[in-house]
Amino acid sequence: MSSSLRKFALAAGCMLFAGQLLAAEEPKRPECIAPASPGGGFDLTCKLVQSALINEKLLSKPMRVTYMPGGVGAVAYNAVVAQRPADAGTLVAWSSGSLLNLAQGKFGRFDESAVKWLAAVGTSYGAIAVKSDSPYKSLDDLVQALKKDPSKVVIGSGGTVGSQDWMQTALIAKAAGINPRDLRYVALEGGGEIATALLGGHIQVGSTDISDSMPHIQSGDMRLLAVFSEQRLDEPEMKDIPTAKEQGYDIVWPVVRGFYLGPKVSDEDYAWWKAAFDKLLASEDFAKLRDQRELFPFAMTGQELDTYVKKQVADYKVLAKEFGLIQ
């Protein structure tokens, strides 16, 4: 492409973005709902975008972050759909775990078509965490302990049976010939509570994800027995964390993170947010903020994201049936 054509394309792109933003006004009271207790992945996702939208001057004032725990996203989903469906300023964080719960009907009467899926901004990976002084030094150490007596190992997970965190350990159990229903779980509300319970000695193992865990790993309080990625992650502080695959357990579990809007948000307001996120996700400054929060690239908005979400929910329904979670 010639220099003049490149300049024309750039100018056209800027004009299109400006036109989309002018079609609707900036939300007056922007808010990001993290549907869990503070300190976990939903909190991290909201605060990432809170910083990025101001840095990119897409919002003139910081977006509030509020917390609405309950059902690993179910309470927030129902509240927005039923009570705030047209509130253009309210973003809600979601993750792959939200989609797994939707696949099992855990969000009540509302399904995956009940909201407007806006953006995916990054991905993490599931992980198995222990305290730094845990006797379990590898994933196989944990599996052998579970084979010997699963009732002696207390596992903390975000949500109850069938949740994303439950599924991670259930896949390990299945691969090792252990009945997942024999595992001893404590249901907690997100990664922040899992870390607190693990470091407090209330559980022996945390089924979580790597982005939630890194602050505690860097402080020396926690270790990861495995990360559920295809291969070792190349970040300096992650390169020594073994994958489940390299330890003989063929399990990969990405944790995509993003946002949705209420179902009655106007097309103009939705277009404003989509244009803002398209600009954000193309920004080098955003990439740096994302990296600082131990998230990896995964950028998707609008109709492309809607198609992705619907396919993921369909795939999760198949997986849930395999484990007898739905009929």
CATH number of the domain where residue 202 is located? 3.40.190.10
pLDDT at 15 exceeding the cut of 60: no
Mark whether 23 and 111 lie in a shared domain: yes
| pLDDT for the residue numbered 39 | 85
> If pLDDT is split at 50, 70 and 90, which confidence band does 270 have?
very high
Last residue of a domain, one of 196, 229, 247: 247
pLDDT at 19 exceeding the cut of 80: no
If you average pLDDT over every residue of the chain, what do you get?
91
| pLDDT for the residue numbered 40 | 84
- State the total domains in the chain: 2
| pLDDT for the residue numbered 194 | 92
Within 8 A by CB and 6+ apart from 129, the residues are 194, 195, 198, 205, 206, 207, 208, 213, 216, 222, 223, 224, 225
Beta carbons of 147 and 197 less than 8 angstroms apart: no
> If pLDDT is split at 50, 70 and 90, which confidence band does 6 have?
very low
In the predicted model, what is the mean pLDDT of residues 285-292? 95
Mark whether 56 and 24 lie in a shared domain: yes
pLDDT at 62 exceeding the cut of 70: yes
| pLDDT for the residue numbered 24 | 67
Mark whether 31 and 67 lie in a shared domain: yes
> Which among 8-12, 15-19, 92-96 has the top mean pLDDT?
92-96
Residues 100-157: tens digit of each pLDDT: 999 999 999 999 999 999 999 999 999 999 999 999 999 999 999 999 999 999 999 9
Maximum Cα interatomic distance, the chain, rounded to a whole number of Å: 70
Residues 33-54: tens digit of each pLDDT: 999 989 888 999 999 999 999 9
> If pLDDT is split at 50, 70 and 90, which confidence band does 2 have?
very low
Range of the domain at 152: 125-247
Please check whether residue 327 lies inside any domain of the structure. no
Mark whether 119 and 140 lie in a shared domain: no
pLDDT at 193 exceeding the cut of 80: yes
The C-alpha atoms of residue 61 and residue 31 are separated, in whole angstroms, by: 11
Strand stretches in 52-150, DSSP E: 64-67, 90-95, 116-131
Residue 282 C-beta-side C-alpha neighbours within 13 Å: 10
Please check whether residue 173 lies inside any domain of the structure. yes
The C-alpha atoms of residue 164 and residue 36 are separated, in whole angstroms, by: 14
| pLDDT for the residue numbered 103 | 96
Last residue of a domain, one of 247, 266, 297: 247
Mark whether 96 and 13 lie in a shared domain: yes
Mark whether 130 and 238 lie in a shared domain: yes
| pLDDT for the residue numbered 71 | 84
In the predicted model, what is the mean pLDDT of residues 23-30? 82
At 75, phi and psi to the nearest 5?
Answer: -65, -45
Please check whether residue 286 lies inside any domain of the structure. yes
The residue among 18 and 41 whose pLDDT is bigger is 41
In the predicted model, what is the mean pLDDT of residues 291-316? 96
Mark whether 119 and 130 lie in a shared domain: no
Report helix, strand or coil for 187. strand
| pLDDT for the residue numbered 8 | 45
| pLDDT for the residue numbered 25 | 83
Mark whether 137 and 208 lie in a shared domain: yes
In the predicted model, what is the mean pLDDT of residues 239-260? 96
Last residue of a domain, one of 198, 223, 247: 247
